[in-house]
Amino acid sequence: MKKAYVKPKTLKEAHFHYCPGCGHGIINRLLMEVIDEMGLREKAICVAPAGCGMLLYNYFDIDTLESAHGRGAAVATGIKRVRPDNLVFSYQGDGDLAAIGTAEGFHAANRGEPISIIFVNNGVYGMTGGQMAPTTLKQQVTTTTPLGRNPILAGHPVRICEVFSMLDGTSYLERVAVNKPAAVIKTKKAIKKAFQCQLDGKGFSLVEILSPCPTNWKMGTIEACRWIDEVMAKQFPIGVVKEIS
């Protein structure tokens, strides 16, 4: 018997703090798998957000910096400009990137900063208890849209990949999901392509990952995975949104 699957070397031993069935855990693991497979452990610098994903520095055995909420893209810009040969990626949630950090993300993309953004879209603010996020769907119930998100009062769910695709500085934008094995494998490929895009100096890359949040969606873990395909993916179509060769 040979080991067919083991924990990636660059993933530390610490147990994940994420809720059962949370997509962050899968994404964290995929990132370290990609970093191991591409041999990037000694070049990688990760900017952690504020939000559920912020404790990644307890799990990633690479250089990490925790940025203020929403400022990851600007911090990553500063790092990359000083250290162009490093692999610099900013891990951000939907509140971090699409709400408070919109300007920073938008302009890093517009400047074509050769950084990668791992954008975890789980439709709510997880860490703070399930409030509406910019990606909360219409009529979706959250703790701050108790009667369902009414677009007239609370706006529409924002499609970051499509918005950023309008910016000439962006080179690779893909939306994937981690709600089933096949999707997880595609997500891993997308992350690899984003990192390769950065290493090849082709400009700005962002991978938007639809991620289940059973606790705050008030669903079972399997139901949450299904909900992504049946409901969420309608608003956030899976696929490559932009790819400059």
Partner 1 sequence: MKGTISIDQERCKGCELCIEFCPNKVIYLSDKLNAKGYFVAAFDDGKECTGCATCAVICPDVAIEVMKS
Partner 2 sequence: MKKLMSGNAALGEAAVLSGCTCYFGYPITPQNELTEYMAKRMGELGRVFIQSESEIAAINMVLGASVAGARAMTSSSSPGMSLKQEGISYLAADELPAVIVDMVRGGPGMGNISPAQSDYLQATRGGGHGDYKTIVLAPGSVQELTDVVPLAFDLADKYRNPVVILGDGMLGQMMEPVSFDDIKPPKEYPKDYILTGAKGRPARMVRSLLFDTKEEEEHNWKLVRKYQRMESSEVRYETYLTDDAEMIVVAYGIGARIVRGAIKRLRQENLKVGMIRPITVWPFPAAAIQEMAKTVHDFFVFEMCAGQMIEDVRLALAGKGHIHFYGRPGGIIPTPIELYRIIARHYYTAARRKK
**Binder of partner 2 out of 16, 43, 112, 219 (CB under 8 A):** 43
Find all residues with CB under 8 Å of 174, minimum gap 6, and list them. Answer: 161, 190, 193, 194, 207, 208, 239, 240, 241, 243
CA 198 remoteness from chain centre = 16
Residue 155's closest CA among 102, 229, 216, 193?
Answer: 102
| Pattern 74-93, partner 2, x by CB under 8 A | xxxxxxxxxx--xx------
- Residue 114: count other Cβ atoms within 10 Å of its Cβ: 23
Q: How far is the CB of 68 from partner 2 (least distance, A)?
A: 5
Which residue, 33 or 96, has its beta carbon nearer to partner 1? Answer: 33
Q: Is 44 in the site for partner 2 (CB under 8 A)?
A: yes
Helix H or strand E encompassing 196: helix 181-199
Binding positions for partner 1, rule: CB under 8 A: 1-7, 11, 15-16, 18-26, 29, 180-181, 184-185, 214, 221-222, 225
Amino acid at position 22, single letter: C
Instruction: Considering only residues 13 through 42, tell me which ones interact with partner 2, judged by CB under 8 A.
Output: 41-42
Instruction: Considering only residues 99 through 158, tell me which ones interact with partner 2, judged by CB under 8 A.
Output: 103-104, 106-107, 111
Residue 173 binds what, of partner 2, partner 1, none (CB under 5 to 8 Å, by partner type)?
none
Q: How far is the CB of 207 from partner 1 (least distance, A)?
A: 17
Q: Is 191 in the site for partner 2 (CB under 8 A)?
A: no
Find all residues with CB under 8 Å of 160, minimum gap 6, and list them. Answer: 97, 98, 105, 119, 121, 135, 206, 208
Which residue, 62 or 74, has its beta carbon nearer to partner 1? Answer: 62
Question: What CA–CA distances, in Å, run from 156 to 133, 136, 141, 209, 210?
Answer: 10, 8, 14, 19, 17
Q: How far is the CB of 187 from partner 2 (least distance, A)?
A: 24
* Torsion of the alpha carbons at 211, 216, 221 and 224, rounded to the nearest 10: -60
Residue 165 binds what, of partner 2, partner 1, none (CB under 5 to 8 Å, by partner type)?
none
Residues that bind partner 2 (CB under 8 A): 41-45, 47-48, 54, 57, 60-68, 71, 74-83, 86-87, 103-104, 106-107, 111
